[in-house]
Structures are given as structure tokens and as C-alpha cells.
Amino acid sequence: MLLSEGSISKKRLKIEINGIVQGVGFRPFVYKLALKYSLCGYILNAGKGVEIEIEGDEVQVDKFLTSISSNPPPLARIDTIHTTKIPIKGSKEFSIIQSLHTELKTMVSPDISMCPDCKKEMNDPSNRRYKYPFINCTNCGPRYTIIDSLPYDRKNTSMRKFKMCEKCKAEYEDPTNRRYHAQPISCYECGPKLEFISLIDSSYAKESEAIDRICDYIKAGKIVAVKGLGGFHIVCDATNEKSIEILRKKKHRPTKPLAVMFSDIAEIKKMCIINEKEESLIVSKERPIVLVTKKEDSKIAKNVAPNIDKIGVFLPYTPLHELILEKVNAPIVATSANISNQPIIRDKDELFQKLSLVIDAVLSNDREIINACDDSVVMSVEDRAVTLRCSRGYAPKSFFVSKKASKKVLAVGANQKSTITLAFENNLILSPHIGDLNSIDAFEYFIRTLDTFKRFYNFEPDIIVCDKHPGYETTKWAKAYVQQNRDIELIEVQHHYAHALSCMAEYNLDGEALAFCFDGTGYGDDGTIWGGEVLFVTPKSYKRVYHLKEFPLIGGEKAVKEPRRVALSLLFEYFSKDEISNMDNALINSFSKKEFDNFYLMYKKGINSPKCSSMGRLFDGVYALCGYLNPLGYEGESGLILETIAQKYHTSQSYSFVIDNNKIDIKEMLIEILKEKDKNIIASKFINTVAKIVVDISKKYPKLPVILSGGVFQNKVLLQKVIQDFKKSNIKYYLSTKIPVNDGGISLGQAYYALYRH
């Protein structure tokens, strides 16, 4: 044999991997693979990812390469793998080389729920971390919420104040250990400590006793606060109607649904009806709140989610939650600790300052939450996940886009459900949910998030993108910022176009599409309020092809909270004053003669009655026509209740409508609704009508794929109907899965536009 034993069958590759590959256990993973295939070389964190040189048997090297891409660590996201064949160097071992500098451009990973390995250890009495509330490893635990700056090293996290004990240090330094370089590693000896403080009698307890005390309080019907990953939760027994009533009163939150945490999936199944997809979302490592249908006879108190058949459920995602649920032995309400619609509270002093009148006790700890992060919310529709809030577990969310950014882009989103997005190179990075920017605290949170992301990515924008709405806090901020930094370019993107773009960004679409952008409010190009828009879109431009025929909103903002005003506005628009006066229905009768005349005058003269084409408001109007005349308790309540009635009183019928001169005219529908003897049937027929509008228009453009975006498409019944009809008619469509269809996706769409403009 002339073949010498090495050189011919051996090769050496240089492999560069980009994506989320730092701080997610990638190096030990590769190290173990190299040992498995008896290969030599090294790995190091470099620039935007990791750099590997691997040498050995040709076949084994190929297997090694396949294993990397087919089965990476759970928290990793590989965007690109670049390999080059290089000369053999004759290495004798594989090593992890500590890198001195990284270019800081690696992605920040989101926080991930406790992994099965850690759970097993936590429940093992012989393990040194038995029942340890902060157990974690390379595959699980806090990330975004404890990171101050990059690179992701313990010294740059809020774990820096806890000095590793010898045992933890040994695990941390051992490449074969599953805690190798797990930055938040700790144990009873060296980690954060729990504390319990009663606001009733000032009693105090530490560590495991603190858990016992808080659980006693919950079981006794008290309302408590618990410090979790991204902030405090307000917690109480979810089967105790009285506690929830008190919580609602104290928080001034009359009807908005509260999320419930269960000990395990079996408990959820006892009280809710869930399908396979919902189950997979509930148990996923991201552990979001999942909207499911509750059973009629469930033990969950009715006032957890009044008047609707849905409930948001989730499983414990930290060891601490796990320990609490085990002890309380009943599902608990776990809702973000905040003052109505303000950011989640992450700091104990702030909690006492703002919520001391609401809570009876607190379970806190001394690990600082650097970046607040709310729980994520998802639902399943026709077997696909639909994200309603993209936050803990998912965000920061990075998207790889084929269009490379020639400049650094910062998009600041909308005013409600605000998020920001950074774009650089082939990345779009979406921040966690910030929230509604209607308070000083919320705006500060927005600024803090901006600073955090700028720090993470060493980022100064060349371009800032904002909404066209001059009144949005984000728009005002963007304009002021550009004023002071003259070399930064400002781009304004129309709100509904940004909705469509957000979906295009998620799917990396660059062609033409027909976009249905249905939401509550957005600033239109003509200065009116848009919201029932059908747009012709590409990543570079758009054209408004159809829209809901405009109607006024009597009282402007007031109408948004009071659906009966919207209903009256609709009637004024489509009927004469006499016709309306002669109508005998609960809606008309709910207005005094004076009110009626006054509103009519406002309508006629256009006083504080802005025109809108909003589909969200049409839902409100129809809700009032169904006989619901009280002001809304929370945004989206009308849609959720219509959804509930539509499921209970289901029909396949719909109402008439006319598409005339690019306007969707709903006069016929209103006439038919007013004639309806059985009011319960209105919801289903109305939702079918909206679906029919979407499908009918889509059929006019058989060559164009359809995009569904905007908050209205959070309506599960509507979405189901549209998707089913699309499938029947073979219509290709796109619907965001990973980012919210609501305003939470706007910043992503704005950033996507900037990539294509340059």
C-alpha cells in the first residue's frame, strides 16, 4: 500500500459560524463533538460568532460538521457557517482558546426556563443544589435580564457581586461540565439569597423559610409580590374569588384578564381544553403565557377572566416558581407587578413605593434585574403559533435578513405595545415588549431600553425610523434626536405599511404582496385615522387600494373607550337623523335626548369628530350594537367578547357589504344587524363578514400573496375563518408567527423599510 496513514484521508477545515453562538454553551458543545470524533484543533469566540479549526479523518470531520448544524445547543441560533479547507497543521489535541477581545457584535440571548437536567438536580435530595431556587446551567436560566454589557461574561452581569465558591468555580472551568461558562452559576454557598418581608406585621424570613412564608400567605388568600426573572409578579390563589376581587379593586383593573401559573401540564389539562399545538407551546423552553379555552367547571375563579371563555396559562419557568407552585398546591394568578399599563417593576424599592397598598408581602432576592422583561403571550390558531407579546424567552429576537444594511438603523416603533428594532449587516434585532408610552415611567423605560441596546451592540444609528404620527412619543423623540444629531437621517413610515413590512421582515419577503392591515388606529397619509386598509406593498413602496369607508369618531379618544359612541357614529354616517330617532333599540335608548342632539351636532359640524377607516373601531361599534353599552375595561375587550359569543352562537352566514370605488361600504350590514331578532348571532355573522371581505378582495389578485397584519388579526375566530377560507381557495398568505401582528411588530417593519431604501 502506498497510501500513508495520515495525509491522504486527513483534512483541516477552518469553520466560521455566525448567529447566537456565544454564551449559549457552543464551545463546550463543539469541544465534546471534537472528542467524540477524535479530532484536533481549537475553537474561540471571535467577532460575530465562533471560529473553529478542525483536523482529522476526512469522514469524521464531515460528521463533525453535520452534527454542528443539525443539532446545535438549545439556545444557539446558527445564521451562517462558512468553511475553508486549509493545510494540515498536525495538531495533537482540541482546545478552547480564551479570546481576549470580541467585537461585541454577538447576539444577546433571551432568558430561558429551567431545563430538565436542572429540574432533576433540584429534586434530588443528594444533590448539593437540592431545592436551590437559582439553579441553572449553560442551557437554561437568566440571560438578557441580567446582562449589563457585552461580552457576556459574569463580570458584565448582575451576578458579578456573587463570588463563585470553589465548587462552582470548578464546574465553571471544566469544559466537559454542563455548567462550563454558565455565567449565572451559583449555589447555596455563593449565590443570591431570598428574603420575605410582610407588609402586614413587618415580619422577615430568609431562604427556604422565605418560600414557606410566602406560600402560607398565598394559601391564606393574601396578595403578594414575587421577584421573578424580568420583574415582580403580583401573585394570589387563582381559585380564590375573594382574593382576586380585592386584587382587582386595589389595582383598578375591573375586567382585564389575569394570567394563571399551574404546577404542571396535567393540572392545566384538568381545567382547560388544550390541543396538541397549545400543549407544545405551554411546555416549550420559552414558557410563554398561552391563551387557551377554560373548562366551564374549572376550579379557576370566574373573575380571573370575566365574560370570556379564554384564559392565559403558563408553567413555572424558574426554579423559584417551581418551588412555590409545589408548596401552594393550587394554580396562582401571576400578573406583572405595575401600576395600570405602566412598565413592569423590577426593583424592590420601587415596588414598595408604588404597590405597598396592593400587596401584603413580598418574596425578593438580591440578584439585580438589570433589564426588565414581561412575560410573552402566544396563542395557537389553526395549528400555528401566533405571538401576541414577544418578550421573555423570545426577545431580544434576532432575524437574519438577506438584504444587508449599508447603514446602522434604529427603528422606534409605535406608541402602544412599543418595541425598538436595530438593523445592522444582515440582522434585525427586536427588543422585548416595552409597553404603552403614555406615562413618564413608560417613556423612561423606552429610553432605558434604547440605551441598553445601543450599549449591547456598540451602536450609534445612521438612520432613525419612526411612525408618521406626530403625536407619538417615539416620533417626537426621533425628531428631537435628529435635530441634535444633524448627520442622522430620519425616515417616517406610515403605520399600516409598517404593519405589512413587519410580516415581510419575518419572512424575508422582497416581492409584491396584498396586505390587509386591520387595527385600531394609525395615522393616515391624508391626516385621517386609518385602520381598515388594504395595501399593495413591496419593501420599497405601497399603495392604498381599498379601505373601510370613513366614519367619524364622535368625541375622538373618548369614542375609543366607549363603543356605544362608535355605534352611534356609524349610524349617523349611514342613516338620517329621523331614521335613527325612530329606531327602537337599547343603543339609541341609552342616550338621553340632550346627549343625542349634542352628539348629532358634533357629527354634523365635525366638532371633535375625526374621520376614521378603522376596523378595530368597527368591531367596537358592532359590539355596542350587540347590546354591550358599558365603556371598555381594557383595550381589545370588545373583540374578545365578540369572539366568545361567536363561538357560542356559531353560524356560517354573513352580512352584505359593497365594495364601491375602492371603499368597503357596510351600510347593508348595519341594516341587517339592526333587523336581527337574535342579538347573539350578530357576533358570528359579523366576523364572517370581515373574513369574507378579506377573502373576496384577495381573490381579485390571484397572483399576489396575501399578508395579514394589525391587531384585529389577534381575533382567533376571524383568523381561523380567514385561514380556512384561504386554504379552500388555495390563496397563499403570510401571517406573523414570531412577532406580534399588533403594534409590537411595527419597529421591525420600520427597520425593514430602511434596509430597502438604501
What is the contact surface with Zn ion in residues (CB under 5 A)? 115, 118, 137, 139-140, 165, 168, 187, 189-190
- Residue 749 Cβ vs Fe ion, minimum distance, rounded to whole Å: 10
User: 184 or 331: whose CB is closer to Zn ion?
Assistant: 184
> Letter for the amino acid at 262?
F
- Residue 161 Cβ vs Zn ion, minimum distance, rounded to whole Å: 14
- Residue 47 Cβ vs Fe ion, minimum distance, rounded to whole Å: 37
53 binds, among Zn ion, Fe ion, none (CB under 5 to 8 A by kind): none
Cβ within 8 Å of residue 306, ≥6 positions away: 255, 257
567 binds, among Fe ion, Zn ion, none (CB under 5 to 8 A by kind): none
Residues near Fe ion (CB under 5 A) are: 519, 522, 743
691 binds, among Zn ion, Fe ion, none (CB under 5 to 8 A by kind): none
Instruction: Quote the crossing angle between the two packed helices 615-625 and 637-648, to the nearest 10°.
Output: 60
Residues 744 and 389: beta-carbon distance below 8 Å: yes
- Residue 360 Cβ vs Fe ion, minimum distance, rounded to whole Å: 39
User: 139 or 613: whose CB is closer to Zn ion?
Assistant: 139
118 binds, among Fe ion, Zn ion, none (CB under 5 to 8 A by kind): Zn ion
78 binds, among Zn ion, Fe ion, none (CB under 5 to 8 A by kind): none
User: 179 or 496: whose CB is closer to Fe ion?
Assistant: 496
Cell readout for 441 is: 415611567
User: 194 or 746: whose CB is closer to Fe ion?
Assistant: 746
115 binds, among Zn ion, Fe ion, none (CB under 5 to 8 A by kind): Zn ion
**Torsion angle of C-alpha atoms 41, 46, 50, 52, degrees rounded to 10:** -20
- Residue 181 Cβ vs Fe ion, minimum distance, rounded to whole Å: 42
Residues 654 and 622: beta-carbon distance below 8 Å: no
> Letter for the amino acid at 648?
K
- Closest by alpha carbon to 415, among 468, 378, 489? 468
User: 23 or 621: whose CB is closer to Fe ion?
Assistant: 621
Looking at the DSSP bridge assignments, the partners of residue 689 are: none
| Residue 163: exposure state from Cβ atoms within 10 A (0-12, 13-18, ≥19) | exposed
State how far the alpha carbon of 135 is from the alpha carbons of 54, 322, 369, 383, 401, in Å: 34, 11, 16, 34, 36
User: 519 or 725: whose CB is closer to Fe ion?
Assistant: 519
Cell readout for 269 is: 389539562
Secondary structure (DSSP) of 582-597: T--SHHHHTS-HHHHH
State how far the alpha carbon of 481 is from the alpha carbons of 33, 418, 540, in Å: 49, 18, 25
Quote the CA–CA distance of 163 and 583 in Å, as a whole number.
75
CA 421 remoteness from chain centre: 13
What region, left, alpha or beta, does residue 138 occupy, with left being phi > 0 and alpha being psi -120 to 50 degrees?
Answer: alpha
Query: Which H or E element spans position 86?
Result: strand 77-86
519 binds, among Zn ion, Fe ion, none (CB under 5 to 8 A by kind): Fe ion
Number of helices and strands in the chain (H, E): 24, 30
- Residue 532 Cβ vs Fe ion, minimum distance, rounded to whole Å: 12
- Residue 135 Cβ vs Zn ion, minimum distance, rounded to whole Å: 7
- Closest by alpha carbon to 688, among 632, 642, 728? 642
Q: What's 650's DSSP letter?
A: -
- Residue 320 Cβ vs Zn ion, minimum distance, rounded to whole Å: 14
Residues 408 and 423: beta-carbon distance below 8 Å: yes
User: 227 or 496: whose CB is closer to Fe ion?
Assistant: 496
743 binds, among Fe ion, Zn ion, none (CB under 5 to 8 A by kind): Fe ion
187 binds, among Fe ion, Zn ion, none (CB under 5 to 8 A by kind): Zn ion
User: 25 or 532: whose CB is closer to Fe ion?
Assistant: 532
Quote the CA–CA distance of 72 and 619 in Å, as a whole number.
45
533 binds, among Fe ion, Zn ion, none (CB under 5 to 8 A by kind): none
User: 118 or 268: whose CB is closer to Zn ion?
Assistant: 118
State how far the alpha carbon of 267 is from the alpha carbons of 124, 273, 333, 377, 553, in Å: 23, 11, 14, 19, 45
569 binds, among Fe ion, Zn ion, none (CB under 5 to 8 A by kind): none
- Residue 174 Cβ vs Zn ion, minimum distance, rounded to whole Å: 14
Residue sitting closest to Fe ion (CB): 519
User: 132 or 733: whose CB is closer to Zn ion?
Assistant: 132
- Residue 698 Cβ vs Fe ion, minimum distance, rounded to whole Å: 20
- Residue 575 Cβ vs Fe ion, minimum distance, rounded to whole Å: 29
Place of cell 410566602: 214
What value does the CA radius of gyration of the chain take, rounded to a whole number of Å? 28
- Closest by alpha carbon to 339, among 436, 261, 271? 436
User: 396 or 522: whose CB is closer to Fe ion?
Assistant: 522
User: 187 or 372: whose CB is closer to Zn ion?
Assistant: 187
- Residue 163 Cβ vs Zn ion, minimum distance, rounded to whole Å: 9
666 binds, among Zn ion, Fe ion, none (CB under 5 to 8 A by kind): none
